[in-house]
Amino acid sequence: MASVYIPVQNSEEEVGVALDQLPRDASDILDILKAEQAPLDLWLIIAREYFKQGKIDQFRQILEEGSSPEIDDYYADVRYERIAILNALGAYYSYLGKIETKQREKEEHFILATQYYNKASRIDMHEPSTWVGKGQLLLAKGEVDQASAAFKIVLDGDHDNVPALLGQACVEFNRGRYTDSLDLYKRALQVYPNCPAAVRLGIGLCRYKLGQFEKAQQAFERVLQLDPENVEALVALAIMDLRTNEATGIRKGMVKMQRAFEIYPYCAMALNYLANHFFFTGQHFLVEQLTETALAVTNHGPTKSHSYYNLARSYHSKGDYDKAGVYYMASVKEVNKPHEFVFPYYGLGQVQIKLGDFKSALSNFEKVLEVYPDNCETLKALGHIYVQLGQTDKGQDFIRKATKIDPRDAQAFLELGELLILSDTGAALDTFKTARTLFKKGGQEVPIELLNNIGVLQFERGEFELAQQTFKEALGDGIWVSFINEEKKPSIDVATSTLQFKDMQLFHDLESNGQHVEVPWDKVTVLFNLARLLEQLNESGTGSILYRLILFKYPDYIDAYLRLAAIAKARNNILLSIELVNDALKVNDKCPNALSMLGELELKNDDWVKAKETLRAASDATDGKDSYATLSLGNWNYFAAVRNEKRNPKLEATHLEKSKELYTRVLIQHSSNLYAANGAAVVLAEKGHFDVSKDVFTQVQEAASGSVFVQMPDVWINLAHVYFAQGNFTLAVKMYQNCLRKFYYNTDSQILLYLARTHYEAEQWQDCIKTLLRAIHLAPSNYTLRFDAGVAMQKFSASTLQKAKRTADEVRATVAELQNAVRVFSQLSAASNLHIHGFDEKKIDTHVGYCNHLLSAAKVHLEAAEREEQQVRQRQELARQVALAEEARRKAEEQRKFQMERRKQEDELKRVQQQEEHFKRVKEQWKSSTHSKRRERSDDEEGGTGEKKRRKGGKRRKKDKHSKSRYDTEEPENDMMDEQEMEDEETDINYREEPQTLTNDEAEENAQGLLAAAGLEDSDADEDAAAPSSSIARRRQALSESDDDEPLQRQSSLVRENSADMQLSDGEIRDGDKTNGDDASD
């Protein structure tokens, strides 16, 4: 081991000091040095030796002593050594300042260093080493340009000053001019080939930065050859190994990194990389330790940023978003420009999304996007944020861009689809399908949520088979399979329990049989949707089992209770339905859906007051934001306005006003709420604004066609009502019929009743009666329908009898119809002994009486009509005979052409007269002759007149009657008559005229007389009919008051049902989305 020898003053002796045996206490040496006035270079050597041995305090003690003022005085002429000592101190403090992390102390160190260098400069301005030192100090302080100036001063003096070259290289490196830096390093190496490994490290780094990885690697390896413990080179090599991104490379890299760590445990870079590695291996504890150490040992911005980032990531993955956010933020703060290190921005953005701070997240992701404009993840995240911020369109754009950049990113398609659900279900479905295909292609399992969404969309579009397949795919294998598949009946008979809506025995039995009844949480929604679909496919039995399966495992699933209740309700099992809803309310007594449904059931049970309270509660539970509850209340008020038979106009008006207000409130909240619009239009119609309400109804009707969840037959009926009220019977009939066919499979007797009323009003009696008979057939126990049928028959008969011109057949039909009416009424009268129908016996008896009265009148009419018919027949026969006679006469005339005797004409006349008398006899015979012939003819003739008549308005009819009928009957005769027979004809006509007018008079008298009496009754009867059944009324005014009401009322109740369904299904979709939303934000 080397030693230094301190010459003893004034002697030839020297004190040998072995450098490896320097005393622990530097004062010993100092004493010697001072005592012997040893040359300053010895001081320096000893101090450096202390430094090398890590004895920093001793090193500083010696140098500080060596630079003290007394030394300056004593060694005033020894300039170089003094400068060297000062520079050593300056370098030392520069280093201290560089590694110091606390800002204040760091600056103190730098100040000290600066003082020493300045002192050195004062000794000699041009000493290059001082400048080099200054340059290094400036570099450490980050003042790159000044450092460069310092180095330049040295290099101007000496091109090959190695330290300056190195310093300048460092400056260029920091400036990012790696080529220049590399040149400088190279020059330094040429000048001083034995320079320390660090120079080669610089070369390696430059090459690395320049992308010349192989050469960089060579350089680093050379460094390691020279200095096997060079941490930087090890780290650099390790990073290069890691960069290969292959398992072997990473392993090699990690080995090197670990060695570097073992050599020097405070290299921040190595720590960061190790932490990074342990993050991926999931050892979060190590990550935190390493990064904390790294943070403690470095103040280099980017490195710290890395460390913070690692730490944040660790917390992020552990779900500690608050901490993660703090560290991301710290990491971001260390980064000057996002370009340098963009990851923490991304992480920060993610955490901010999690914490709900979308605005900040937005700006962070946008920064990421600046750096990586095509990064799918960022685009997706941005899309997600915009959606959360309510800017759906923008969100869609971003995600669409993401799908375009990477058309194989199933996740992006998934998110895009979710966005499209709201606006364009068709496109959403396509997108989801693409996502599904991508997942399948990629060999990944298709997420259940995706399949669920596809299924729901297919369901919504009415593709039930497909939807069922999709749901089944989503569910996969499980206990439910045995319930769904009919082929594989489970050991326990499912069917028996389909009706026991609350029966869970089935599942208990299955469990006790050793079968595992399990429903994974993520499949509940799908199961629910499948059950809902089965309901739609009329497999409500299976659906009910699935709902119960859900409840068996998840007894808090309110929607399942509600659907079960809905099934029970569809089967008309109201009590059970109420029970089920109450079960749902046990889970959550504020659930607005359940409350609404309960309210509706109570209405169905005719429990008005209770229903109102329940609906109120539902409305309160949502702060009036739930439009359904508000709507129901509106409906309630509407019913209240119109339900009472004995109207209280004041109450009615207030109720109507209230319902209108409620509908309007809903419309304000949701301008596109069909049901509210419908309700508002009903109120409008109620007030007589038919045109406006018609417009609204039409719009609602258009809007309602499209989704399976929106079934609004009510609006069709309402439209028909409006047409009816406006007198457009043909359209009304069409509308009713379409509605009946489209929505009710022709099973709704109520609509048939509306239809019958329209026919009645349009005076299409037969159609009216047929329609009523159909209605009776559908609803046999509805006695009001019979009553109405009776009234229609009566009305038909009366109107036929009132007609001036009718055939015996018509009258006969009338009589038959009257007999039917009498029978219907008397049956009703008998039945009303048994039951209460809402109309009393007396009224029916009046009708019976009136019908009987009509019947007896009709008999007279019948006789008259028959008589008239005979006369017509006689006339026709006569005409025919006359025609024959004429023929004969013409023939005779031809014969007489030869004779040209005029006298014979008189004979001819006589003959004709004789013939006529003969005809009269024939006439008598005809009376008893076959009827069939007669009927045919009269039909033909009467058909024409009848038709003409029908076209006439009612009022004009009577006035026209005489002239018209006469004209009609006379016409054919006139045509055939000869002048010669005018005489006869006249008498004939007179003869005929007499009874005819008589009949007419009689008819009129009868009709007027009787109907004057009955007229009162007639209108009375109508009112009777209107009161209980709201079916038949003539006055249009009455229509808006009484008739229309009940139909409308019924409709509105339908409205409720429908919207209940809709809401529930909405709920499903929402459910699906919710899970998805969560996933997405993950």
Partner 1 sequence: MKLGGIKSVENAHDDSVWAVTWVPATANRPSLLLTGSLDETVRLWRSDDLVLDRTNTGHCLGVASVAAHPLGSIAASSSLDSFVRVFDVDSNATIATLEAPPSEVWQMRFDPKGAILAVAGGGSASVKLWDTSTWEIIATLSIPRPEGPKPTDKSGSKKFVLSVAWSPDGKRLACGSMDGTISVFDVPRAKFLHHLEGHFMPVRSLVYSPYDPRLLFTASDDGNVHMYDAEGKALIGTMSGHASWVLCVDVSPDGAAIATGSSDRSVRLWDLSMRASVQTMSNHSDQVWGVAFRPPGGSDVRGGRLASVSDDKSISLYDYS
Q: How far is the CB of 838 from partner 1 (least distance, A)?
A: 7
Give long-range contacts, CB 8 A cutoff, 24+ apart: 651-654: none
820 Cβ contact partners less than 8 Å away, ≥ 6 residues apart: 790, 793
Q: Which is nearer to partner 1, 521 or 745 (CB)?
A: 745
Q: Which is nearer to partner 1, 784 or 969 (CB)?
A: 784
CA distance 771 to 785: 10
Which tokens in the block code for residue 165?
């070259």
Q: How far is the CB of 695 from partner 1 (least distance, A)?
A: 32
Q: Which is nearer to partner 1, 195 or 789 (CB)?
A: 789
What is 227-241 written as a DSSP string?
-TT-HHHHHHHHHHH
Find the Cα–Cα–Cα–Cα dihedral 583, 586, 587, 588, rounded to 10°: 120
Q: How far is the CB of 641 from partner 1 (least distance, A)?
A: 23
CA distance 310 to 324: 10
Q: How far is the CB of 966 from partner 1 (least distance, A)?
A: 36
Q: How far is the CB of 776 from partner 1 (least distance, A)?
A: 6
Residue 952: CB atoms within 10 Å: 14
Q: How far is the CB of 782 from partner 1 (least distance, A)?
A: 8
66 Cβ contact partners less than 8 Å away, ≥ 6 residues apart: 40, 43, 44, 47, 85
Q: How far is the CB of 944 from partner 1 (least distance, A)?
A: 24
What is 707-722 written as a DSSP string?
-TT---HHHHHHHHHH
Q: How far is CA 597 from CA 235, 557, 629, 799, 1055, in A?
A: 70, 16, 9, 49, 13
What 3-state class would DSSP assign to 400?
helix
Q: How far is the CB of 750 from partner 1 (least distance, A)?
A: 14
Q: Which is nearer to partner 1, 493 or 691 (CB)?
A: 493
Strand partners, 14: 7
Task: Give the DSSP letter of residue 17.
Answer: E
Interface residues toward partner 1, by CB under 8 A: 486, 493, 495-496, 498-499, 538-542, 570-574, 606, 744-747, 770, 773-774, 776-777, 780-781, 783, 789, 816, 819-820, 823-824, 826-827, 830-831, 833-838
Which tokens in the block code for residue 151?
């180095």
Task: Give the DSSP letter of residue 447.
Answer: P
Q: Which is nearer to partner 1, 94 or 814 (CB)?
A: 814
The C-alpha angle 208, 214, 218, rounded to 5 degrees, equals 90
Q: Which is nearer to partner 1, 539 or 1023 (CB)?
A: 539
Q: Which is nearer to partner 1, 605 or 698 (CB)?
A: 605
Which tokens in the block code for residue 146?
């000044």
Q: Which is nearer to partner 1, 669 or 738 (CB)?
A: 738
Q: Which is nearer to partner 1, 777 or 948 (CB)?
A: 777
Q: Which is nearer to partner 1, 496 or 895 (CB)?
A: 496
Which tokens in the block code for residue 501?
């809506």
Q: Which is nearer to partner 1, 340 or 493 (CB)?
A: 493
- Residue 82's φ and ψ, nearest 5 degrees, are -65, -45
Q: How far is the CB of 921 from partner 1 (least distance, A)?
A: 37
Q: Which is nearer to partner 1, 495 or 1016 (CB)?
A: 495
Q: For helices 268-281 and 301-318, what crossing angle results, to 10°? A: 20
430 Cβ contact partners less than 8 Å away, ≥ 6 residues apart: none
Q: How far is the CB of 691 from partner 1 (least distance, A)?
A: 35
Q: How far is the CB of 559 from partner 1 (least distance, A)?
A: 21
Q: Which is nearer to partner 1, 816 or 884 (CB)?
A: 816
Which tokens in the block code for residue 286?
């190590």
Q: Which is nearer to partner 1, 400 or 786 (CB)?
A: 786
Q: How far is the CB of 968 from partner 1 (least distance, A)?
A: 30
Q: Which is nearer to partner 1, 342 or 854 (CB)?
A: 854
Contact indicator for 47, 19 with CB cutoff of 8 Å: no
Q: How far is the CB of 363 from partner 1 (least distance, A)?
A: 55
What 3-state class would DSSP assign to 16?
strand
Q: Please, what is the end-to-end C-alpha distance for the chain in angstroms?
A: 65
Single-letter residue type at 179: T
Q: Of 121, 631, 286, 604, which is closest to residue 615 (Cα–Cα)?
A: 631
Q: Which is nearer to partner 1, 540 or 969 (CB)?
A: 540
Q: How far is the CB of 915 from partner 1 (least distance, A)?
A: 42
- Residue 14's φ and ψ, nearest 5 degrees, are -130, 150
Task: Answer positive or negative: Cα dihedral of 316, 319, 320, 325.
Answer: positive
Q: How far is the CB of 473 from partner 1 (least distance, A)?
A: 22
Query: What are the start-end ranges of the H helices in 319-447?
Result: 321-334, 343-355, 358-371, 376-388, 392-405, 410-423, 425-441
Q: Which is nearer to partner 1, 769 or 989 (CB)?
A: 769
Give long-range contacts, CB 8 A cutoff, 24+ apart: 322-328: 322/355, 324/351, 325/351, 325/352, 325/355
Q: How far is the CB of 711 from partner 1 (least distance, A)?
A: 13
Segment (H or E) for 3: strand 3-7
Q: How far is the CB of 499 from partner 1 (least distance, A)?
A: 6
Q: Of 362, 357, 322, 330, which is closest to residue 346 (Cα–Cα)?
A: 362
Q: How far is CA 280 from CA 64, 96, 263, 290, 1081, in A?
A: 49, 35, 24, 14, 21
